[in-house]
Amino acid sequence: MSIDSLSAISPSARIGSNVEIGHFCIIEPDVVIGDDCRIASHVTIKRGVIIGNKNIFCEGTTIGNLPQHTSLDGNIGGIVIGDNNIFRENVTVHRAMHEPSVTQIGDSNYFMVNAHVAHDCKVGNNNVIVNNVMLAGHVEIGNRVNIGGAAGVHQFCRVGSYAMVGAQAHVIQDVLPFVTVDGLTSRIVGLNLIGLRRNGYTTSEINILKEVYRLVYRSGIAWKDILQKLQDEYSTGIASEITRFVLTTKRGIVHEGRYAENSLIKFCKTNENKCTNESDNEEQPALRVSVG
């Protein structure tokens, strides 16, 4: 164990073996830190936090502040963090609103600079949360999700496993597993095909997901009929994760961003007050969204 003499460590904090703590850190009472953790300078870990093994906390990280809520009482919950996570500079993670609830972070997640995890969030495993991402209270993130820089996820929303959320997206409803959210429009623009292939999903599995995607977003049938068809035909296998997700949504799901089938890309001429086609005599390509 290596603890810098300039850090303030509570005698009642439980610190595992082979832990390194840099200078000017604060470790409060009622903190548990597992083995082989690396804590850089100016890190604060407050009471009510339980940390697993082999986690890395970079400069300025604060774990365990009170929830940012106007109705706090004295029964604040805690934080439970798994193993092998990386928290880069100035990441903040807040405690749950009430005991015995906890803000929960799983294993092998990468939180980049200035990311924020609010009270009562549940973050799974192997996720990448990029710079300045904001997860509001009670947000749930699945496994192997990638959330781009400065994206914001509204409270009580869920982001399904293997989804990719583009930079600066505004997520105000649930994001289905396996899909991609465009950062500019905050709408679904197809399956996360690159992520699926990188994680070993086969062509046949991806084709099944395409079927489900088209059912949910492009079939044009009533929502109750979509739900029934999901239960009847996609309750097992890879598609069952989407079925379970859709059946348990409370905020609804993010819509697909599509243009009309024959819509044209418009260009604004700077010397006119209206937008026209670049050439009245030249056919412009339609801007379409594809599943894959």
The residue annotated as part of the active site, out of 64, 106, 116, 120, is 120
Q: Are residues 117 and 46 in the same domain?
A: yes
Q: Which of 197, 212, 234 is the last residue of a domain?
A: 197
Quote the domain boundaries for residue 79. Answer: 2-197
Weakly modelled stretches of the chain, pLDDT under 50: 260, 262-290
22 in any annotated domain: yes
On whether residue 268 sits in a domain, the answer given is no
Report which DSSP code applies to 283: P
Active-site residue, 225 included: no
Residue 267 lies in a domain: no
CATH of the domain at 78: 2.160.10.10
Whether residue 264 lies inside any domain: the answer is no
**Does a structural domain hold residue 290?**
no
| Pair 26, 111 in one domain | yes
Decide if 251 contacts 173 (C-beta within 8 A): yes
* Same domain flag for 57 and 155: yes
Shared domain for 186 and 214, answered yes or no, is: no
Question: pLDDT at position 259, please?
Answer: 53
When the pLDDT of each residue in the chain is averaged and rounded to a whole number, the result is 91
Domain C-terminal end among 166, 197, 228:
197
Candidate list 42, 94, 119, 138, residue with the active-site label: 119
Task: Give the tens place of pLDDT for each residue, 69-81.
Answer: 998 988 999 999 9
Does residue 133 share a domain with residue 80?
yes
pTM: 0.88
Indicate if 114 and 16 belong to the same structural domain.
Answer: yes
Task: Give yes or no: residues 214 and 155 share one domain.
Answer: no
The catalytically annotated residue of 64, 137, 160, 195 is 137
CA dist 84 and 126 (Å) reads 10
User: What is residue 1's predicted lDDT score, i.e. its pLDDT?
Assistant: 83
Q: Are residue 23 and residue 145 in the same domain, yes or no?
A: yes
Peptide bond into 177 cis (omega under 30): no
Residue 264 DSSP symbol: B
Let me know whether 55 and 175 are in one domain: yes
Position of tokens 């706090």? 72
**For residue 278, what pLDDT is reported?**
38
Say whether both 35 and 150 belong to one domain: yes
Token pair recorded at residue 204: 């046949």
Q: For residue 164, tell me if it sits in a domain.
A: yes
H-helix or E-strand containing 9?
Answer: strand 8-9
Residue at 252 is within a domain: no
Residue 277 CB partners (closer than 8 Å, separation 6+)? 264, 266, 267, 284
Whether residue 15 is found in the same domain as residue 102 = yes
Spatial contact of 70 and 52, defined as CB atoms under 8 Å apart: no
Q: Does residue 120 have an active-site annotation?
A: yes
Last residue of a domain, one of 157, 177, 197: 197
Same-domain check for residues 157 and 124: yes
User: Is position 119 annotated as part of the catalytic site?
Assistant: yes
| Total number of domains constituting the chain | 2
Within-domain flag for 291: no
> Which tokens in the block code for residue 60?
């300025």
pLDDT value for 291: 61
